[in-house]
Amino acid sequence: MGDRQSLASSKGRAPGRSGAQPWPSFSRTSGDRCYPAAMWLKPGFLYVLLWIGFGAGHSVLASWPGRRWLERVAGAGDRLAYNLFALVHLAVVLGIGWYLFRDLPAFALPWVLRAALALMVLAGAVILVLAGRSYDLARFAGLAQLRRQAPESGLATEALATGGMNALVRHPLYLGLLLVLWGGAGSPFALATAVCASVYILIGIRFEERKLLRLYGDRYAAYRARVPMLLPWPPGVAHRRP
């Protein structure tokens, strides 16, 4: 009797561990739990809107009028103020995003895939450290401007970085960040963050390269023709500019 009741209760129930979320499948069911489509679509839509707002705010401050306004308001602290605003805005976006996806569990990944993703994160972190050596990080953070009591516009143009990791790809910092983001995409929230941030980075690269062409002219044009944007190619292999 008890065996028949147990058999009957198991009918119609999906196999697998309770609460386990397959990856990257966005099915309505997961183990013994049911996830209506709205649980995926609504937080995803709202999270995309948050990232659009972040991109818009960042673009406004990065524009020439935005930079001039920051310089009038913050003086030599214009770059630091720009970074702080971006960090606070990003923290708000990530915090609200985490709240929106809080009820969705992490993906149930096989250990091989978890190990591969962990290696991606490690590789991205190493690339970030190595690539950072080619840049004036104090100036990037806005601390050099404060020390010299001069806004960003009052400093000399930085030398074009073409050595180190920049000899392999034009944007090694973005490459490292993308590896970290996708290597950490083990939950719906992290995956949505990787997607949104990747789109934001790729759009940002286009605007950044226009600025670099204005600053360095033919030197950057030749560098761009010689070095790929994000994916390194073996020596001697020609690449098509993205």
- Pairwise CA distance, residues 214 & 208, whole Å: 10
Measured in Å, how far apart are the chain's first and last C-alpha atoms? 68
Q: What is the CA radius of gyration of the chain?
A: 23
Describe the crossing of helices 111-132 and 172-183 by its angle, rounded to 10 degrees: 160
CA 45 to chain centre: 18
Place of tokens 């090694």: 172
| Model pTM above 0.85 | no
What is the average pLDDT score of the chain?
A: 82
Q: Tell me the sheet residues that pair with 21.
A: 107
What would the pLDDT profile of 98-108 be if each residue is shown by its tens digit?
A: 999 998 888 88
Cα–Cα dist 88/162, whole Å: 31
b/e sequence 162-198, b meaning 16+ C-beta within 10 Å: eeebbebbbbbbbbbbbbbbbbbbbbbbbbbbbbbbe
CB neighbour class for 43 (10 Å; exposed up to 12, middle 13-18, buried from 19): buried
Q: What is the pLDDT along the chain (242 residues), one digit of tens a residue?
A: 444 444 444 444 444 444 444 444 444 444 444 455 567 788 999 999 999 999 999 888 888 888 889 888 888 888 888 999 999 999 999 999 999 999 888 888 999 999 999 999 999 999 999 998 888 888 888 888 888 888 887 777 888 888 889 999 999 999 999 999 999 999 999 999 999 999 999 999 999 999 899 989 999 999 999 999 998 876 555 455 55
Residue with tokens 């034009």: 170
Q: Phi and psi for 21 in degrees, rounded to 5?
A: -110, 115
Encode pLDDT of 98-157 as tens digits.
Answer: 999 998 888 889 999 999 999 999 999 999 999 988 888 888 888 888 888 888 877 778
